[in-house]
Chain A
Amino acid sequence: MAVLLEIKDLQTYFYTPTGVVKAVDGVSYDVQEGETLAIVGESGCGKSVSALSVMRLIPNPPGRIVGGEILYKGQDLMKLDEGEMQRTRGKEIAMVFQEPMTSLNPVLSIGRQMTESLEFHFGMSKTDAADKAVELIRSVEISDAERRLHQFPHHLSGGMRQRIMIAMALSCNPSVLIADEPTTALDVTVQAQILELMKRLTQELGAALVIITHNLGVVARYADRVNVMYAGKVIERGTSAEIYGNPKHPYTLGLMASVPRLDLPPKDKLDPIEGQPPDLADLPPGCSFLPRCRYAIDRCAVESPPLTVVQGAHMSACWVADQLPSETARTS
């Protein structure tokens, strides 16, 4: 498979009165054609900021992309002017946001919001765009498509709004769809519907799907590959079989142990990761996970571990990656 989008050593910092917050600090990953890639991490790990950086939607000030390259089909997005970027955004790389309540414009009809990008990117006439919008609304399995065009976001439920967002994002046949916590605000039964829908539609279009989430469970079913992020860095990468079956970073191991699982017998006690995530404006030297790590060695305090190969394409940023207990030994 060919590499579609490649992020190299991306650094996005926020300049705040209390200091420089290194939200994304040297992140590299790539997205291959047609694959489903997951970016997993807890709040503040930089997963959303890395995606917003790709779209060049970082509010400046206070944020700024201070280093790195974002190559889309070989072209560095950082070097595009705003007009060129606008033609890329939505048409080549589209995004679905977490909050279906706030990411639609409350004073514009659904139809207007959907036709806007069609008119902009393809120069469609108003009626052609409206026809296409009806078709798109049907494709995301919403009934009464014609009537929906004249409705406003507040007429729709959360799940329907997220469907509209997906329809809008896919309207210009993008090659990459980035979904930032697409189902976090939704109920479990609706969550399943939306994920199935996204997977099916991107497969039909041949588009790559990047799912950003804090929930390890959500992506297990859908992702081909997984990147795990912590404190602004990718700390583990691999196929989902590798990440879920044989995690090689203490943080990933810890995340797996913290969640109660329906498929295993109930445990008396959960095994949480102790402590708090670090303050990104004041990171300790060495490995950022060190204060919460139960496998740390002396070297961790002085030298930050780079992302290195464990086996094949499975990579981990940990000095003791090869000495960690295997997942099977831990759960039994």
Chain B
Amino acid sequence: MQDQQAALAPNANDILVDVRGLKMHFPVTTGVIFQKTIGQVKAVDGVSFAIRRGETLGLVGESGCGKTTTGRCLLRFERPTEGQILFDGEDVTKMGDREMRVLRRRMQIIFQDPYSSLNPRMTAGQIVGEPLTIHKLTQTKAEKKDRVAELLSIVGLNPLMADRYPHEFSGGQRQRIGIARALAVEPSFIVCDEAVSALDVSIQAQVLNLLEELQDQLNLTYLFIAHDLSVVRHVADRVAVMYLGHLVELAPRDELYTNPLHPYTQALLSAVPIPDPKIEATRMRILLRGEVPSSLNPPPGCVFNPRCPIAEEECSAAVPELREVSPEHWVACRLV
């Protein structure tokens, strides 16, 4: 495990976030008063990866694969069952709440749903200004007002809109408010959890461009969680693919998209529609059988084996380790 980590993170100084053997199991209970644990949802089951300073790591997978839970663990919204999360060398999993609060100034999150992630009773200005108050970043009211106006204009909103409530904004504008709120504390790391999935395509492109501009200007590091592989290819430097709580492939962007090695990544890529009937007419599609199994009762061995087009008998015997098949290209499949 240690060797693997060393290789995953070639230069420790470059690494901002280092996740080692992360496990997040949620207990399933029965009974109202006398609760009994009857099982465990293994949302994340032994995931290791590192995020370098200034890069965007894409984390893709289908619903229920644990990508959001992984992101939430990094911010310690959940206390992981097992594993380490080193943020700039400090272990987040061992921190107390007070230390964590200080650290959260450096890590922020942008949520998927711009409708439910903003408090409807607060104005845009109050929403963006709240982190400033909590972290005591501005001293006077005037200073706070100026900073809020500045943040709103950074994300392309008119500062005069600060007095409006969320329902007065469109989906794309609300997402910009969410981004301004995340930027308020000048973080170095932002988890973008399906940050553009709920937006229409024309607006999605605007927000993606904004996120990239901000990354350049403010030297941000992103964990970009999404299910849309074309969007991830556009923004990410490296891409990690998750399936049922496990990391199945991790590679630099171009490598992953031109030379996907894991059968799941291959199927996932072949299912992404291309807006060109001429290409689609000749394109081969790998249609997977069935659906993602429940993480309450994952299949033995390689979790992908029941749906895998090339699975062999041995695949259900042991969980395949993530191994480096070519420089920086990691795959968890015994047949590759």
- Give me the interface of A with B, judged by CB distance under 8 Å: 42-43, 157, 159-160, 187-193, 196, 214-218, 220-221, 223, 240-241, 244-245, 254-263, 266-267, 269-274, 276-277
Residue contact B212 to A259, C-beta cutoff 8 Å? no
**Residues of chain B lying within 8 A (CB to CB) of residue A254:** 202
B230 at interface, CB cutoff 8 A: yes
Residue contact A188 to B272, C-beta cutoff 8 Å? yes
Closest residue of chain A to B307 (Cβ to Cβ) is: A189
Which of A159, A188, A274 is close to B271, meaning CB atoms less than 8 Å apart?
A: A188
Which of A190, A223, A241, A269 is close to B291, meaning CB atoms less than 8 Å apart?
A: A190
Known A-B contacts A42-B202, A193-B287; the reply to A187 vs B62 at CB < 8 A is yes
How far does the Cβ of A19 sit from chain B's closest Cβ, in whole Å?
16
Residue contact B209 to A262, C-beta cutoff 8 Å? no
Residue contact B280 to A260, C-beta cutoff 8 Å? no
Residue contact A214 to B230, C-beta cutoff 8 Å? no
Kindly count the residue-residue contacts between A and B in the assembled complex, taking CB atoms under 8 Å apart: 128
Residue contact B209 to A272, C-beta cutoff 8 Å? yes
Closest residue of chain B to A41 (Cβ to Cβ) is: B200
Known A-B contacts A188-B229, A254-B202; the reply to A221 vs B280 at CB < 8 A is yes
Closest residue of chain B to A259 (Cβ to Cβ) is: B201
- Give me the interface of B with A, judged by CB distance under 8 Å: 62-63, 170-173, 200-206, 208-209, 212, 227, 229-231, 233-234, 253-254, 257, 267-269, 271-281, 283, 285, 287-288, 291-292
Known A-B contacts A244-B277, A269-B212; the reply to A260 vs B63 at CB < 8 A is no
How far does the Cβ of B4 sit from chain A's closest Cβ, in whole Å?
28
Which of A196, A262, A276 is close to B274, meaning CB atoms less than 8 Å apart?
A: A262
Known A-B contacts A217-B274, A266-B253; the reply to A42 vs B200 at CB < 8 A is yes
Q: Bound complex: CA of A171 vs CA of B291, how far in Å?
A: 24
How far does the Cβ of B222 sit from chain A's closest Cβ, in whole Å?
16
Q: Could you jot down 11 A-B contacts, CB within 8 Å?
A: A43-B171, A187-B62, A189-B62, A191-B271, A221-B280, A244-B275, A245-B278, A258-B204, A262-B233, A262-B272, A266-B234
How far does the Cβ of A313 sit from chain B's closest Cβ, in whole Å?
16
Most chain A beta-carbon neighbours within 10 Å: one of B172, B231, B269, B272? B272
Residue contact A189 to B202, C-beta cutoff 8 Å? no
Closest residue of chain A to B171 (Cβ to Cβ) is: A43
Q: Bound complex: CA of A214 vs CA of B171, how far in Å?
A: 15
Q: Bound complex: CA of A254 vs CA of B202, how far in Å?
A: 7
Closest residue of chain A to B269 (Cβ to Cβ) is: A262
Q: Bound complex: CA of A245 vs CA of B279, how far in Å?
A: 11
In addition to A216-B275, A244-B275, A266-B254, 13 A-B residue pairs with Cβ atoms within 8 Å of each other are A187-B63, A188-B272, A189-B268, A215-B201, A217-B274, A221-B277, A223-B277, A245-B278, A255-B202, A256-B275, A259-B205, A260-B208, A269-B212
